[in-house]
Amino acid sequence: MSATLTLACPHCHAVNRLPATRLGDSGRCGRCKQSLFVAAPVALDAASFDAHFSQSTLPLLVDFWAPWCGPCRMFAPTFERAAGQLEPRVRLAKVNTEDQPQLAQRFGIRSIPTLALFRAGREVARVSGAMDQGSLLRWVEGNLGA
């Protein structure tokens, strides 16, 4: 990991610099002064996605979902809990494919829920379907080194 990380604020999406040694600290956004880590998934749209996807050095785990999808709704609490366990090493985000069809199309999302793990602006792993907490954490940990 580099000496300085860049990461997008979960509130205002401004890109911040944070020394890697302070990753465990809560850190505050230089623009909005709110915490850089909230232990909850960040809802992203087309305007905010790239700040977290390509401008952040923190791995990004995205849940592509839709409100009408039963498995998506059942999986939501599991994904929410995972944010508390994976931050600050991984940023978790949700993209509503109903509201953001351009992002679903950009990443070729064919079924939901679909999880995609990104690092340094590229996709490193993908899985479709809901999982339990243990399976989700093992899948992420197993793919972080990819």
CA distances from 35 to 72, 101, 116, 143 (A): 27, 29, 25, 27
* pLDDT tens figures, 37-72: 999 999 999 999 999 999 999 999 999 999 999 999
Kindly report the CATH number assigned to the domain that includes residue 83.
3.40.30.10
Q: Are 94 and 62 in contact (CB under 8 A)?
A: yes
Q: Give me the catalytic one of 9, 29, 32, 69.
A: 69
Q: Give me the catalytic one of 12, 29, 32, 72.
A: 72
Residue 106 lies in a domain: yes
Quote the pTM value: 0.93
Looking at the structure of the chain, the number of domains it has is 1
* pLDDT tens figures, 75-97: 999 999 999 999 999 999 999 99
Residue 136 lies in a domain: yes
Domain that residue 112 falls in: 39-144
72 catalytic residue (yes or no): yes
29 catalytic residue (yes or no): no
